Amino acid sequence: MVEYLTHTLGLSGTLAWTIAAVVAAVLVLNVIAGGALVFIWAERKVAARIQDRLGPTRTGGRFGWLQSLADGIKLLAKEDLMPDGADGLLFKIAPYVSFCASFCAFIALPFAFDVVGLRLNVAVFFVVAVLGLEVFGVIIAGYASASKWSLFGAMREAAQVVSYEVPLGMCVVVPVMLAGSMDMVTIAEKQAGWFWNWYLFHDPFTFVVFWVYVTCAVASVNRAPFDLAEAESELVAGFHTEYSGLRWSFFFMAEYGSMFLVSGMAAVLFLGGWNGPIPIATLLGWSEGTGESAHYLVRLVGLANLIGKATLGVLFMMWIRWTLPRLRIDQVMTTCLKYCTPIAAVMFAGAMLWQVLLPGGLMPGVGRPGGEVREGWLEGPGGRAVQAPAPPAVAEIRP
């Protein structure tokens, strides 16, 4: 886009860069805000169907599809209350801290081959790190509300999120190891082709790791059955008991943004990213070089693929929310420390051994992109090959 602005419109580089940055930021903001609207409506409908109800039916004609817009207007018009004993400054900024963390993580999430806010070399690490910051908003909110329920909710959240970052990190490392890069674009590219190239089906260990990742992701974005921070049966509404109006809706948007984010990350890490289950573009002969329209069409299909997969992930989370009962806090901790962490550790070791011993997979014929020497830095400056550090045994067994 920067090239387009500079070459076609003749703008200076910095100005073009600025415009591109603003456009990208607005697009990401729209993904979160628009996504939240759609997902809140979807959550109501899914919940209703699971509980054998109808859900919203009236607002906006059929299916009540304008329900979240009506909710939004109601929230805007609602009085913004603050408890008497609250710490004013902290109470006010807490929702924005949460929302900003959720928003910042989207910077590094690739939506299609080129459609990424910032192609970071440590994208996976960055997203996990920034996602962990969301907990601060919750803790501050819980403390500043000057309410017992809020404080308990915040303490639970802090304990839970810090604990679940450990197995989550271990799960995330497995695809990173297989791809040999922390760059999400590279990771998704490695899974191009048919769906058996996805890291989900790479080996039995990654298949297990994916489900551990799902568990940890649900826990780290505070969704049922791990929503102890807002357990309404014991803590009224947990950390956001005292919030109302627009500030409350910021917490809500942050939650749905994070759900979409962890689902998108699952899609990139395990489900092939923007590569569909069937490589339609390749079968039709479209590729990067076939012309401008095909070029954009491939991007568009990729975008649809990734958003579709992430949406499926969000719907999956809704499904478990309305199906499973909430755990107790000690059960949440047990799940993390006694089950998820050891399983993730063992699966990590297993995937590593598999990668060393069977780099071509069990069926060498299907053409998995094996362990070639992957990164450009190995070729040193000026095309001069620096000696590869690891013994390239992996490369020779490549089919």
Residue 378 sits in the site that holds another protein (CB under 8 A): yes
Cβ-count burial of 21 within 10 angstroms (0-12 exposed, 13-18 middle, 19+ buried)?
middle
Nearer to another protein, 235 or 266 (CB): 235
The helix (H) or strand (E) run that includes residue 128 is: helix 123-144
Map residues 91-130 to x or -, x wherever contact with another protein holds by CB under 8 A: -----------------------------xxx--xx-xxx
The footprint of another protein on residues 154-173 (CB under 8 A) is 154-156, 158-159, 161-162, 165
Residue 344: alpha-carbon gap to chain centroid: 19
Sole binder of another protein in the list 91, 99, 103, 143 (CB under 8 A): 143
Using rule CB under 8 A, residue 330 touches another protein: yes
Q: By CB under 8 A, is residue 383 in contact with another protein?
A: no
Measured between alpha carbons, how far is 184 from 112 in angstroms, rounded to an integer? Answer: 10
Can you state the angle between helices 148-179 and 204-220, rounded to 10 degrees? Answer: 150
The full length of the chain comes to: 399
Residue 269 binds to another protein (criterion: CB under 8 A): no
Stated as kind and residue range, the H or E segment containing 323 is none
- Binding residue count for another protein, defined by CB under 8 A: 56
Which tokens is 128 given?
Answer: 């996990």
- CA–CA separation, 311 vs 145, rounded Å? 33
Residues 6+ away with beta carbon under 8 Å from 114: 299
Provide the minimum distance between the beta carbon of 90 and another protein in the complex, in angstroms, as a whole number: 6
Check if the beta carbon of residue 351 is closer than 8 Å to that of residue 174.
Answer: yes
Member of 6, 18, 59, 282 binding another protein (CB under 8 A): 18
Rule CB under 8 A: say whether 87 interacts with another protein.
yes
**At closest approach, how far in Å is the CB of 40 from another protein?**
27
Binding residues vs another protein (CB under 8 A) = 4, 8-12, 14-15, 17-18, 85, 87, 89-90, 120-122, 125-126, 128-130, 132-133, 135-136, 139-140, 143, 146-148, 151-152, 154-156, 158-159, 161-162, 165, 181-182, 234-235, 329-330, 375-378, 380-381, 386, 389
